[in-house]
Chain A
Amino acid sequence: MSLSAQETEIRNPPVSRPPLDPHLKALENEAIHIFREVAAEFENPVMLYSIGKDSSVLLHLARKAFFPGRVPFPLLHVDTTWKFKEMIEFRDQIAEKYDLDLVVHTNKRGVEENITPFTHGSAFYTDVMKTEALKQALDAGGYDAAFGGARRDEEASRAKERIYSFRTPDHKWDPRNQRPELWNIYNGMIKKGESVRAFPLSNWTEVDIWRYIQAEDIPLVPLYYAAERPYVERDGMMILAEDPRLELKPGEEIQHGMIRFRTLGCFPLTGAIRSTASNLEEVIAELEIATVSERQGRAIDRDQSGSMEKKKREGYF
């Protein structure tokens, strides 16, 4: 059977990749199933896009799920104004390249009140510029479902989160009263004002994410790869020193070294690791012998024991 001109259009880019191994294929299939189900059952979904590696995988899966159609919902980026510069550049390039609807939201009140990670501490800052900002953006868009890239292996409280994670009209999560979730049958029925956070990557681990990025050749923010970069050591973290808003404290000095980031967030709260892994293969090799979990670089998890659960109850993603 010969293909007509229009049919050939849906043929793939000529690059042929080796087929995914069954493990990654199963994870991919599950994620695509979730994407399609949410898109079909909810009136106004949105995808939370944080620009990091998990978001990059999430976006790639969304494009696969709806191919040959367009991604049928916007991407929402909550911009705290303290993201790495390279992240913002990357975000805008990707949105243009893939013809995506990108919504960027910043908590204006927080900006006006000059709430920064340096002046107010990570807990309060995160609450205002991330949690509160996210709620504002979700309310403003009237979204009834929001995709996130959270994985259950990231943190203990996430291990119990459902794939469809139900939220009250004020975005609260009640971990003790979650809807049972059986087989791959998701209950997408909600009342007006309620919403669902949907997590297609629930069953992925950090290694899976990296191996999938490699197998699918997914572009990433270059900060994930080691390079000679300026940094300052503060509170046991190496903070990237390229933003003029970073003021040196007494005794601190800018150092230079081969560093990279395992997660990306707000630069003052995200610690680098020393590494020479300057490409994907080397990052994976490094990861496979790593003995420290990726959230170790995140200041917000360490504020108190059970801190992530608390933040999640309050509406943090």
Chain B
Amino acid sequence: MSATATATTTPVAASANVIPFAESAARVSRDTRPLRLITCGSVDDGKSTLIGRLLWDTKAVKEDQAATLARDSGAQNDLGLPDFALLLDGLQAEREQGITIDVAYRYFSTDRRSFIVADTPGHEQYTRNMVTGASTADLAILLADARVGLLEQTRRHATIAALMGIRQFVLAVNKIDLIGYDKAVFEKIAAEFREFGLALGVRQITAIPMSALKGENVVLSGTEAMPWYEGPTLIEALELATSRSTQAGGFRLPVQRVVRPGESFRGYQGTVSGGAIKPGDSVAVLPSGTVANVKQIVTFDLVRNAAVAGDAITLVLDRQVDVARGDIIVSIDGQPMTGTSFDAQLVSLQPGGIEPGKRYWLKSGARRQRVTIEPTSQLDLSTGQWKPHASLLSMNAIGKVHLSFEEPAVFDAYEQNRATGAFILIDPDTLNTVAGGMVTAKRADIGGIHRGKEGEQRVVLSLPADLAEQLMASELFASRRDEADIRRLTAAEAAEFFSNAGSDI
């Protein structure tokens, strides 16, 4: 086709639907960071239509893109709208196969806020792509078809999103028009999902009845069709969502580079990944533990009097200390965990899987080091249960593992700090990224005792060895084996232990 046609002729049917942009001319200042979200669901749930609708109704689709869309899709739906899936599926291979095979990022904004959507496929074998999209997301939109309710797939997606640390869910109950805007059906699905989400530890759950195709309760109000619904539209819910907190807690600066433009200046460059810092504060350099004070915070714009999580800065210390790329500068109070043995959860991303006992490269922050992986259990996504598993974690498997380092490593628990609790594994042979992982706890050195979470209640039992062995062989016990401490004692030693423990028992 010639170059002229699309450029100069716009009277394609689709462009008639492009609403002039003029009324939104005042998008000048946005006082919040972009909200990053992930959409989970399948083509059948209407995911492409939903995202297309978000882009369309926020005017993120430009006229010529709409024209290309109309040219490529030819036919339009009943409402005269183009096939949104074509707008989204960027790669030729996908268009040919009619499926989405990778993560794509979309951008749209309202007067109040800008949004980055990670659009990921719904097919089971692409768990890895969803994990990729979820890793940076503040919020997950889960799609359900109002006609069929929650599917196993919906639960899988919710489980993965929760595992990746997403604590805000929106359940989009789509195609509500096809069940006659039935309030009772919506409420049943919403209640069922809320219960499931709470069990996953997700407290922020908004369920919204909508028709993405008709644009009801997506960007525009659906009140006319659903006067019974008083909650927010999708875009309102997104505008009100919180960006991932800048991580209260201790200061963390993973050092990316050391800058020495002259004899007298030595600065440590990195992005603050937790807490805040100001000149005069005392810091420790990990893993060595050397202590110094902050002399200056330097940026291109000015010498600053404070920096907070998210800021890319150059830090100057008040004395000569040995700091290299990969070290972490942290506040003296509230330091991260330093050690050679950690518990983690990881997602296996490549066909070769994750092999027990193999040495991988682990990268976290700016630090790369050797690690050996020992799987202990695997998550069954259909039941949400962890099952004992010590062998290869195949592609898309989610496992609990032990990490063993040759040199000291530094982590926060992922739940406390996403930036300093996350890592990737790199295969030393292919150099490909083979896993994404989240540290849960430091393991006590050999012979030590599990410390558990702060405030966690624990029970010490003393049992006959044969009974203990039967209990330990049970599936329930095995699935949580790594949370338990076991010592074999004589009956006399056990009796003495309990008498020493005193009156609390």
A interface vs B, CB < 8 Å?
Answer: 1, 3-4, 6-7, 10-12, 16-17, 21-23, 25-29, 32-33, 36-37, 39-40, 63-70, 122, 152-153, 155-160, 175-176, 178-185, 187, 189-191, 202-203, 205, 207, 211, 235-237, 271, 285, 288-293, 295-296, 299, 302-306, 309-310
Residues of B within 8 A of A153 (CB): 106-107
Given that A21-B29, A178-B102, A180-B128 are known contacts, is A205 also in contact with B301, CB under 8 Å in the complex? no
A69 touches B93 (CB 8 A): no
Query: Which residue of A6, A69, A175, A189 is within 8 Å of B260 (Cβ)?
Result: A69
**B305 nearest CB across to chain A (Å):** 11
Closest to B263 in A: A6
User: Contact between A176 and B93 (Cβ–Cβ < 8 Å)?
Assistant: yes
Q: Which stretch, B39-47, B149-157, B310-318, B336-344, touches the partner chain A?
A: B310-318
* Chain A to chain B contacts (Cβ below 8 Å), 12 pairs: A12-B301, A21-B30, A22-B32, A26-B34, A179-B433, A183-B419, A183-B424, A189-B361, A203-B34, A291-B21, A306-B92, A309-B91
Asked if B433 and A236 make an inter-chain contact with CB atoms under 8 angstroms apart, the answer reads no
Let me know if B431 and A182 touch, CB within 8 A.
no
Minimal Cβ-Cβ distance residue in A for B270: A36
A267–B92 CA distance with the chains assembled, in angstroms: 29
Known contacts A189-B361, A191-B431; A64/B105 CB under 8 A: no
Task: With both chains docked as a complex, state the minimum distance between the C-beta of A220 and any C-beta of chain B, in angstroms.
Answer: 19
Residue B221 is within 8 A (CB to CB) of chain A in the complex: no
Choose among B87, B261, B426 the residue that contacts A70 (Cβ–Cβ < 8 A).
B261
| Residue B436 at the chain A interface, CB threshold 8 Å | yes
Check B298 against A159 for contact (C-beta < 8 Å).
Answer: no
Most buried by B among A69, A182, A203, A285: A182
B residues in contact with A271, CB < 8 Å: 7
Interface centre among A11, A17, A185 (most CB of B within 10 A): A185
CB–CB A302/B18 < 8 A: no
- Which chain B residues border A304 with CB–CB below 8 Å? 1
Q: Say yes or no: B312 contacts A36, CB within 8 Å.
A: yes
Inter-subunit contact B259/A66 (CB<8 Å): yes
CB of B256 within 8 A of CB of A37, answer: yes
- Taking the closest CB of chain B, its distance from the CB of A210, in whole angstroms, is 11
CA distance A156 to B94 in the complex (A): 12
Q: Check: B245 CB closer than 8 A to any chain A CB.
A: no
Cβ 8 A contact of A182, one of B102, B116, B422? B422
Report whether A293 and B64 are in contact in the complex, using a CB–CB cutoff of 8 Å. yes
Q: Tell me the chain B residues, 16-48 only, with Cβ under 8 Å from chain A.
A: 18, 20-22, 24-25, 27-34
Task: Report A2 CB to chain B, min CB distance, Å.
Answer: 12
Residues in B neighbouring A182, C-beta threshold 8 A:
131-132, 135-136, 422, 424, 433, 436
Besides the known contacts A1-B295, A11-B303, A291-B63, 16 further A-B residue pairs in the complex with CB atoms under 8 A apart = A6-B265, A67-B314, A157-B90, A160-B104, A176-B102, A179-B432, A182-B436, A185-B422, A205-B107, A236-B4, A288-B21, A288-B27, A290-B62, A293-B62, A304-B1, A305-B68
**B267 interface contact, C-beta 8 A:** yes
CB-nearest residue of chain A to B311: A29
Taking each of A6, A26, A183, A190, which has the highest tally of chain B beta carbons within 10 Å of its own beta carbon? A183
Interface readout for B411-445 with A: 1 if CB under 8 Å, 0 if not? 00000001100111010000111001000000000
- B107 in contact with A203 (CB, 8 Å): yes
Which of B106, B259, B302, B364 has a CB less than 8 Å from the CB of A68? B259
By a CB distance below 8 angstroms, the chain A residues around B95 are: 306
What chain A residues lie within 8 Å of B407 (beta carbons)? none
A37 touches B259 (CB 8 A): no
Cβ of A211: which chain B residues have Cβ within 8 Å of it? 28
B481 at the interface (CB under 8 A from A): no
Complex partner residue of B424 from A175, A187, A293, A309, CB under 8 angstroms: A187
Of A4, A207, A236, the residue contacting B7 (CB under 8 A) is A236
Q: From A16, A21, A202, give the contact of B105 (CB < 8 A).
A: A202
List B contacts of A25 (CB < 8 A): 33, 310
Least Cβ–Cβ distance between A180 and chain B, in angstroms? 5
Report yes or no: A175 in contact with B299, Cβ–Cβ below 8 A.
Answer: no
Q: Which residue of A lies closest to B92 (CB)?
A: A306
Contact A40 B32, beta carbon cutoff 8 Å: no
Shortest distance between the CB of B160 and any CB in chain A (Å) = 13
* Closest B residue to A6 using CB positions: B264
Given the complex of chains A and B, what is the CA–CA distance between A36 and B18 in angstroms?
Answer: 41
Say whether, besides A22-B31, A152-B105, A39 and B25 are in contact (CB < 8 Å): no
Bound-state Cα–Cα, A291 to B265, Å: 49
A288 to B24, CA, bound (A): 8
Q: Closest 10 interchain pairs by CB?
A: A156-B90, A293-B62, A32-B312, A64-B300, A236-B4, A182-B135, A236-B8, A182-B436, A189-B431, A67-B300
